[in-house]
Amino acid sequence: MTLPAGTTLGGIAAAQRPARQRAGSPTDGWWPWLFVLPTLLGVLVFYIWPLFQTGYLSFTETGPFGGETWVGTENYAKMLGDKNVGLALVNTVVYTVIVLLGIPVAILLASMVNRPGLRFATFYRVLFFMPYIAMPTAVALVWRMIYNGDFGILNWFLSIFGIDGPYWTSTPGFAIVAVGIVGMWSSLGFSMIILSAGLKNIPPDFYEAAQLDGASRWKQFTSITVPLLTPSIFFVTIISVINGFQLFDLLYAIMGSRNPAMQQSQSLVYIFYNQAFIHNNRGYAAAIAMLILLVIGIVTWFQFRMQKRWVNYV
């Protein structure tokens, strides 16, 4: 085949590429939708539909024999005047803040475990990750023994220094802090895995250049590691806050429903469970669920807005 003067094979290919793309796009047809259809159905059935259903139930009252009666904003007015909801919100925030305090600890531990040449580094990662995959009930049983006011190892340790430890899980004020410490300990493994992946993305050239300039290890940690790790820290913070506002299983397993301090230590999700499944007041429980969704949405939106000021994307 003879090409016209000034025409090359590359030029012909470049001229034909958009034509093939335009010709190929209609043939995509419904195939891409077929592949994503199972995921879309799952999202619609298990996330979107329950969200709208809960929103509808929050404006209704459940009868003693089932069925719903439209009551407008009565459940929301009742919720705003419920002191237990306000106290549960405070307890949930306190628990979430305690869990967030574990992130700096996770950063230090991840940096230590990822030091070049450290022996048994994989073993240490598995060791720290095990509490995250352990059943909350099993974790709670162990910590209940540690927190036991009469025979617990924690009060025994404090007694060595002459300190009379309280009944950690049955004293208002101490109980939510005790549960928060367990939550922080349980989440360390997950945070460490995410932060370890972020540490591996930091170019080693930065550390070599810092060493040539005489920077100490602490200076390298504060000037290189932490700033370049901020995307991973931001992700861990988002997940920790969302999990913190969903506190229920750990609180229920450690304290139990008959604990005298539960009334002052309950979380928002615990009140939702109590109203929905114990008192069969699904309308009021749905209003509390919408409050939880609203609080998590506002906090997450605020975190995304503020990330521009402290997250460094290389």
| CATH code (residue 237) | 1.10.3720.10
Look up residue 289 and give its amino acid. Answer: A
Q: What is the pLDDT of residues 33-77, one digit of tens each?
A: 889 999 999 999 999 999 999 999 999 998 877 788 899 999 999
pLDDT of 229-274, one tens digit each? 999 999 999 999 999 999 999 999 999 888 999 999 999 999 999 9
Distance, in Å, from the CA atom of 90 to the CA atom of 96, rounded to the nearest integer, reads 10
Residue 4: predicted pLDDT: 47
Half-sphere exposure at residue 69, Cβ-oriented, CA atoms within 13 angstroms: 9
Residue numbers of the domain that contains 252:
86-308
Please tell me the total count of domains within the chain: 1
- For 230, other C-beta atoms within 10 Å of its C-beta total 17
Range 205-229 average pLDDT: 92
Residue 91 tokens read as 């307890």
Judge whether residue 199 has pLDDT over 50.
yes
Q: Can you give the pLDDT at residue 197? A: 92
> What is the average per-residue pLDDT within 143-149?
92
- Contact in structure between 214 and 223 (CB atoms under 8 Å): no
Evaluate if residue 15 carries a pLDDT over 80.
no
Residue 284: the pLDDT is 95
Cα separation, 179 vs 265, in Å, equals 10
Residue 3 lies in a domain: no
Whether 258 is covered by a domain: the verdict is yes
Give 4's DSSP letter: P
pLDDT of residue 25: 58
Q: Using the predicted structure, report yes or no on whether residue 118 has a pLDDT greater than 90.
A: no
> How much is the pLDDT for 136?
82
Cβ neighbour number for residue 189 with a 10 Å cutoff: 21
DSSP label at residue 150: T
SS3 content of the chain, % helix, strand, coil (to 5): 75, 0, 25
Q: What is the pLDDT of residue 241?
A: 96
In a domain, 27, yes or no: no
Q: What is the band of 144 on the pLDDT scale with cuts at 50, 70, 90?
A: very high
Q: What is the pLDDT of residues 158-182, one digit of tens each?
A: 999 999 989 999 999 899 999 999 9
Distance in angstroms (rounded) separating the CA atoms of residues 9 and 222: 55
Strand segments, DSSP code E, in the chain are: 60-62, 68-70
Residue 251 burial (10 A CB sphere; 0-12, 13-18, 19+): buried
**35 within domain boundaries:** no
- pTM score, two decimals? 0.85
Q: Please indicate, yes or no, if residue 79 is contained in any of the structural domains.
A: no
Model confidence at 1: pLDDT above 50: no
Is 179 domain-assigned? Answer: yes
The yes-or-no verdict on residue 290 having pLDDT over 80 is: yes
Amino acid at 135: M
